[in-house]
Amino acid sequence: MADEVVLRPQEIPEQPFPGEGEEVVPGGEASAGEGVESPNRISNKGFPQKRVAVELISVTLNTRSKKILAEYQFTESGAIQIGKFVVGVSGDIRISPGGIVARDKAGNVTFSLEGDEGSAVFKGEVKAGSLVSGEVIVGNNNVVIDGANRRIVVNDGTNDRIVLGYQSEGF
């Protein structure tokens, strides 16, 4: 085992971190053979400025009053959900191509608008300053308020029993 060779690491001289121990002078020259160069001039640079979309916020959205100040265009999308439904805490509204549905915090549908046929269902009262309609049908055609023909008809399921207003060939 006399043939064994012991290898030792090459010694690398320790280099101080720039600015430690020595005074760094801008435009100074490096000593010959060190291989360290310094710039001739160091320019002062500030921190980068934060860029804010000023036009969008100031012209179309007022973030303080939380108001939309201009018109926006919608693109095609699957659906929009407003709020997060959590049982006993909060309800939500869902808008989709099929219609609009709102749920209360118990999960009950409070109103829905059907997109294909136009049906509307309301859990609570419907109030309006005025109502314009061709006919108001109550029940299974048992009571019909017919504005176009100026009459109210009450039917027992087979025959018209009470007719108020105009009836052609009537009495």
Arithmetic mean of pLDDT, 96-110:
93
Grade residue 104 by pLDDT with cuts at 50, 70 and 90.
very high
Q: What is the pLDDT of residue 136?
A: 83
Greater pLDDT, 33 or 36: 36
DSSP 91-116: -EEEEETTEEEEE-TTS-EEEEEETT
Q: What is the pLDDT of residue 20?
A: 65
Greater pLDDT, 13 or 131: 13
How far apart, in whole angstroms, are the C-alpha atoms of residue 18 and residue 4? 42
Q: Which amino acid is at 86?
A: V
User: 148-161, pLDDT tens digit by residue?
Assistant: 778 888 888 888 87
Position 107 pLDDT exceeds 90: yes
Contact 124, 131 (CB under 8 A): no
Arithmetic mean of pLDDT, 22-31:
54
Q: Among 133, 130, 167, which residue's Cα sits nearest to residue 150?
A: 167
Greater pLDDT, 96 or 27: 96
How far apart, in whole angstroms, are the C-alpha atoms of residue 23 and residue 10? 29
DSSP element (H, E) containing 128? none
How far apart, in whole angstroms, are the C-alpha atoms of residue 146 and residue 153? 8
Q: What is the pLDDT of residue 97?
A: 87
How far apart, in whole angstroms, are the C-alpha atoms of residue 113 and residue 97? 11
Q: What is the pLDDT of residue 85?
A: 92
Q: What is the pLDDT of residue 125?
A: 86
pTM of the model: 0.45
User: 35-89, pLDDT tens digit by residue?
Assistant: 666 667 767 778 888 876 655 556 777 878 888 888 877 777 788 899 999 999 9
Position 26 pLDDT exceeds 60: no
